[in-house]
Every structure is written in C-alpha cells, then in structure tokens.
Amino acid sequence: MNPALLAKSYRRVREHTLALVATLTAEDCCVQSMSDASPAKWHLGHTSWFFETFVLERWEAGFTPFDATFRVLFNSYYNAVGDKHPRPQRGLLTRPGLEVVLTYRANIDQRVLALLAKRPLDTELFKLVELGVQHEQQHQELLVTDIKHLFSCSPLLPRYSEELQCEPPIEDLSWKDFAGGLVDIGHDGDDFCFDNELPRHQVFLQPYRLASRLVTNAEFAEFISAGGYGDPKHWLAEGWDWRVAQQREHPLYWHCAGAQWQEFTLGGLLPADPHRPVTHVSYYEADAYARWINARLPTEFEWEHAAVKESHSRAGLIQLSDSTWQWTSSSYAAYPGFRVRPGAVGEYNGKFMVNQYVLRGGSIATPAGHSRATYRNFFPAGACWQFTGIRLALDARVPWD
C-alpha cells in the first residue's frame, strides 16, 4: 500500500480522461445518441461523483458537497445512494454546463489528493480510491465508444482519432491445442482486481483448441455473402428475433458502397480493411458466424486458461487484449463462494449477474494496463456498440474444415 504511487496513478488517470475530450466541443459533450450510451459530460461528472460520494463524503473532515444536486444527476445505478436521473434522459442535462463540470472535477481532484497526502492512510480509503481509479478507466473506454456511436449518427461522419485502430494480423489463422484438465480460474495475487474475478477456484476443462487470432473483416464478409444473415439455421431463436427486429444485415458501422464495404471508424468512414478484426458484433452475430464456420465460441474458462498459458510462451495466440473484446459462450454469473461487498459499492458488479454474457481480453479503447487475463467484462447479447469481436474455438476431437 503506497499512497504516493496511488496519488500518481490518480493524477495520471484523471488527466487522461480530460485528454480524451480535449478535441470535443461543448455540444459534442452534451449529446446522448442512444439510451445505452452517455454524454461525455456525464462521464466527466459521474467519475468525479464516485470519488465525492464514496471517498470524500466518508473521510473528508467537514465534508460539504460541491453541489447537492449532483448527488442525483450523476448517480448511475447505486440504489443505496438514493435517487437517480433516468439514464435515457442524460442527454437532456444541458445544465450544469461543461465548464461547471470541469470545475467540479478540479475541485474533487484537489480534495482527494489532499486526503492521500495524509499519513497514515486508512486501508479501506486506499482501496476505495484504487477502485475509483479503475472505475474511471472503465468509463474512459465507455467514453470513447459512446463518442464513436455519437459521431456515427452525424451526416458529417466526423473523425475522433486516427491513432486508435486495430492492427491487422500478420499470419493466417491456425489452431492451438490445449490439454484442459483441472485448472485454476480467477485472480491470484495482491494486486488490484474486481470482486467478480474472485474467489480463485478450479474448473475442469475438456481438451480444446483456440484460433490463433481474431476473425477478420474479410472472413466475416464471406458469411454475409453466403447469406448468413438470412439463414435462420445459424441463429439462436432469440438472436434471429433480434436480427429481424433490428433489420440487421451486417455489423454495426458497416456501409455498403457498391461492391465494397466501408466501415465507420474513430478515424472516420474508411474502406473496410479486410485484414483487421471484425468489430462491433453482438453475441448473436458472433455465435451465428461460429456456427456457420463449423466452430464455436470459447467458454470464458477456456479463454482465461489459454491466456494465462500464453503469458509464459512466445508463440501461439495473438490479439488477446489489444484489438477487440472477445465474446465467450459463458453467462455472467458468480464464481463459487462469491460474496457481494457491504455497502453501496457492493452494487458495482454482483447485481448485474443475469442476462449477460462474458467477454474477455481488451480493445483498442481499453486503457493501457487496465485489463488482465482474469478480467471479466460483460454485456447483454444484443450489445454491439462496444469493440466486440470473435475468437473461435473447437473441441479437441472435432475437425475443422
């Protein structure tokens, strides 16, 4: 427990959030493009609200809220804290203005850093600030993906960043074999992890194979050309209903330009690079593609076991955490022995363990150093505005052709 290092990490993460919105206008920061997304201004306010509500309110002597109305405006889903502004209406919050929210952030930073400068530092305080830093990194990724969705709705199709792009693989798809057996799953060590990565436990895996890399745009385009979106035999019943209701014929952000696919990226509308990983596909689309190609999606335990094994080798799997999150076939549920933390922060993960699927890895929008092999991301099966892609799996005894 090193307060100086935590303070340094706090400053770095808070500054990075501001850097992510540096090129945006005040209008960009206020608009909400759909109910699942949030305005950039709301992300800026909520991440500060987290530190004010869970850290300053408890540990700051003579605590006074920056603005009492913010307790409701920037509460996300913490029922134990109190009332919340409806999520689908966050884009209606023209007040407070962006400058006020930025002043709020600066105020909270000054007060949190003053707490961290005190000695000795309470262990629980340290852990809550650490959780808040990790929480803000999650919102940094959400902020980027929400901006992308917002910009995709504009007829101008503006660019956000040309730096955040998936690197294409440099090899053909191959298969890596894993023996399976009784394996350890979950976080191990004293460094930070979220509560849903615990407790560490054992699961039994049958021998399995994982694809060496992610499915590419060109490979997914073959699924489209073969009529994959129009053939119900590849789709789960709920997935087919979703596809029909959404009138989905291709991945989100794809546009057909004659005989060529174009893709809206953070760098604007570009020809779809055939070698880059397909992104922004739902669980339903990922599962349908896997069935079409005579493969399947990995379980989250297969993915973690393989990723841990890869950390000790130099060859095998690529694009584990630097391109797109990867859908698994595992429903998001508690590990054996999982216990929800006491208090409002106990609502952070546990209450979402229903009607969600686990994604593993990381994406181009994931902050550096934030993810790890045991990290459990989760979204509903129809979600596709996040950077979500496909890694295929096979049972060891099943051939692939």
CATH number, residue 76: 1.20.120
What HEC string does 317-339 produce? CCCCCCECEEEEEEECCCCCCCC
The whole-angstrom separation of Cα 122 and Cα 130 is 12
Q: What is the pLDDT of residue 316?
A: 85
Instruction: Provide the domain count of the chain.
Output: 2
Segment 31-52 mean pLDDT: 98
200-256 tens-digit pLDDT: 999 999 999 999 999 999 999 999 999 999 999 999 999 999 999 999 999 999 999
Mean pLDDT, to the nearest integer, of 49-76?
Answer: 97
Question: Helical H runs in 153-261?
Answer: 217-225, 237-246
Whether 100 and 136 share a structural domain = yes
CATH code, 359: 3.90.1580.10
* 169 in a structural domain: no
Asked whether residue 157 is domain-assigned, the answer is no
Say whether both 354 and 388 belong to one domain: yes
Extract the tokens encoding 320: 């584990």
% of the chain with per-residue pLDDT over 70:
96
Residue 399, preceding bond cis, omega within 30 degrees?
A: no
223 shares its domain with 351: yes
Residue 170 domain flag: no
What's the confidence (pLDDT) of residue 1? 77
Distances (CA, A) of 141 to 246, 297, 364: 25, 24, 9
Residues 35 and 119 in one domain: yes
183 and 88 fall within a common domain:
no
Domain membership of residue 158 (yes or no) is no
Residue 178 β-bridge partners: 208
Residues 349 and 205 in one domain: yes
pLDDT at 309: 82
**89 and 179 share a domain?**
no
Domain around 236: 175-395
Instruction: Indicate if 275 and 376 belong to the same structural domain.
Output: yes
**Distance between CA atoms of 142 and 124, rounded to whole angstroms?**
27
CA dihedral of residues 193, 196, 198, 199 (deg, nearest 10): 170
Average pLDDT over the chain reads: 94
- At 314, the pLDDT band (50, 70, 90 cuts) reads low
